[in-house]
Structure 1
């Protein structure tokens, strides 16, 4: 039987393992759970594995346990929890997911940060005292020479639908003006979503128009009208922007009134021709899966992410409960209105208590 002194000595020697050997071992695990556990062994291991790239091909729901508990669960589209993390850094914060493995958080103290729940890395952003409706990332902040910009859609005291942007390290948010007309009530333009697409930033208004964000690095950043609303557009619905190949697309949920029971059924999808600025309704996402809700709107190639269904929309819109997560099969609904199907939840997830934090989509280790 090993002595206590021998055990301590062994721990010390493991802490001093060569970096190259440790990284080689980590690369062979092919498991986010093992990778996270290895970084938690000691400071030297964490430092050695900070830049270790690990690909975990799964889109996950990040779920918070109810009450004051700081436990968070990451439930993949493969219908399994791949990890459970205690994240005290998120206590008292709202957060939005992304396809880059990062969250954008907004605390009760009005502090906004980029936070990676797996590496625990973070970047500060300027404070903002307004009510944040949505925070979105342009690109992965960890990319070489990253010029990541965070967009904020928020409500000020007197103005609705304002938008600002900032980069990590900035001292203040910059706001965007709009050259278009105010609505009939005299409010500022209402913007639902924004996306970084082919080197530019675009946004969609609640009225269906598309705007282009110009001069973001100049003295007078502004939003200018880029395309009119799609034909037969039904206003009053939240619009989402996403990329599909070389085209910019927009989708929104269709409301219908059946015997005074007002519900939402399905999605309408339009594709924008970037040259002619004309819209065309489409009935397929091809091999892509689209993710909407409390996150940056994004698509993935279903074949690259096991568990994802091609030509489907995954939605956590307006939901703070797991039961409110749905899948919309675009192909099945082409000729008939089937509606939204409940997201398949395992028994283990059903046992997670609901909280006031909405489930968010996140890709922990993007390809």
Structure 2
């Protein structure tokens, strides 16, 4: 075809760009020329990428004056270098909506889109979350206290898409070390705390399904709130939905390294249990300080809608789970992800200071059917004391 592609009609270019299947294709389209960038800018809010996840790798502070940070594309197995100074010295949690939640060294929180550089501020964690008090004032000024807050004050943050009846699009839920969850919306001045029920178990994950917000407890119990009330912070007492099932967890329930995750699959709920173990050196007594811990297996359960009990499953045909330092996600495997598998990143933040080169090593892909673990990223830029790699679905 002869002619100047840069002068193609806007409506034709818009039609072409809406058929692009991936985020990187859309980015390349927008970089062709100013004319094409104008088209991309005008339709990007209505265009959605095929949700093949990306991996935001650990920051590199050595000889990196431009603050480049690598992002690994799980689809084409390529790394991109983006200038992301905003993400340096922050703790990051990925999500399914293009956003990464960031906590900086002053405990400020915001949603940040690594592609578009858009950001949404949320309330600071300082003076809002229990366990910040009770320490000697001089200790608060120390560097290791700040790092401890970033690593251990919040164990996980999940991004939830609010219902259409709400005036805001996103709510974030922080799972805190103080046996509570903290909920915040854009423009809120503070976090709203919800304490765990009396007992030994913490709340560990959250999803929205239909008109309910479900929260998973560490013992496998499910509770819920009405979604509209939850997003408007009009909390009533949580409603029990599914009981604890001791035979699933057994004696491992309180084991430090085990983690539980909750994901939505259409109109069904899935629970994932991740089992980790200590790794010792050749003496068999002391830690192997290169690793310290590692994941060795997963179990996957689906909630029976009739009796509200968890039932173990071995097959997720055409689907892939993503767990770790991110909102737990279930995506279509397509042609690029390993089917019936779990991609996982290191989320054992309380122990990231122990290995010689910090955390980030406990990362891979678990084949549910064969119970085998392999690597999906071979690079060595994964280690960090407060922000190892996290998975997110890119969007403009």
Which range, TM-score by smaller chain? 0.7 to 0.9
Distance across 2 between alignment mates of 1:33 and 1:94: 25
Match 2:391 to one of 324, 337, 361: 361
| 1:273 equivalent in alignment to 2:304 | yes
Match of 2:375 in 1: 342
Q: Indicate conservation of the 8 Å contact 1:103/1:116, yes or no.
A: yes
| 1:300 equivalent in alignment to 2:294 | no
Match of 1:324 in 2: 362
Listed one character per residue, the Cα deviations across residues 45-67 of structure 1 (whole Å, up to 9, x for unaligned) are 57961642252552211113421
Listed one character per residue, the Cα deviations across residues 182-232 of structure 1 (whole Å, up to 9, x for unaligned) are 33xxxxx51211111222111112222222135423644443432112333
Match of 1:336 in 2: none
Distance across 1 between alignment mates of 2:389 and 2:157: 15
Distance across 1 between alignment mates of 2:166 and 2:9: 26
Distance across 1 between alignment mates of 2:321 and 2:329: 6
Match of 2:114 in 1: 117
Match of 1:7 in 2: none
Distance 1:353 1:278, change over 3 A: closer
| Corresponding residue SS for 1:74 | strand
| Corresponding residue SS for 2:57 | strand
Distance 1:43 1:140, change over 3 A: farther
Listed one character per residue, the Cα deviations across residues 164-186 of structure 1 (whole Å, up to 9, x for unaligned) are 111122222111144x3333xxx
Could you say what the CA RMSD is over the residues aligned between the two structures, in angstroms? Answer: 3.6
Distance across 2 between alignment mates of 1:51 and 1:100: 17
Q: Indicate conservation of the 8 Å contact 1:321/1:359, yes or no.
A: no
| Corresponding residue SS for 1:89 | helix
The total of aligned residue pairs comes to 331
| 1:62 equivalent in alignment to 2:56 | yes
Distance across 2 between alignment mates of 1:317 and 1:311: 20
Deviation of the 1:275 alpha carbon: 3.9
Match of 2:344 in 1: 315
Distance across 2 between alignment mates of 1:299 and 1:120: 25
Deviation of the 1:78 alpha carbon: 3.2
Match of 2:241 in 1: 226
| 1:175 equivalent in alignment to 2:217 | no
Deviation of the 1:326 alpha carbon: 1.3
Q: Indicate conservation of the 8 Å contact 2:263/2:271, yes or no.
A: yes
Q: TM-score, normalised by structure 1?
A: 0.76
Distance 1:267 1:34, change over 3 A: closer
Q: TM-score, normalised by structure 2?
A: 0.71
| 1:161 equivalent in alignment to 2:179 | yes
Q: Please list, as runs of the form range in 1=range in 2, the aligned pairs for 1:1-367 lying within 5 A after superposition.
A: 23=14, 32-33=23-24, 35-36=26-27, 38=30, 45=37, 49=41, 51-52=43-44, 53=47, 55-67=49-61, 69=64, 70-78=67-75, 80-81=77-78, 83-129=80-126, 130=129, 131-139=153-161, 147-155=169-177, 160-178=178-196, 180-183=197-200, 189-214=201-226, 215-216=229-230, 217=232, 219-230=234-245, 231-234=247-250, 235-236=253-254, 237-254=258-275, 264-303=295-334, 306-318=335-347, 323-333=361-371, 339-345=372-378, 349-350=379-380, 352=381, 354-356=383-385, 357-365=387-395
Structure 1: state its 5+ residue gaps: 1-13, 184-188, 334-338
Distance across 2 between alignment mates of 1:31 and 1:100: 14
| Corresponding residue SS for 2:80 | strand
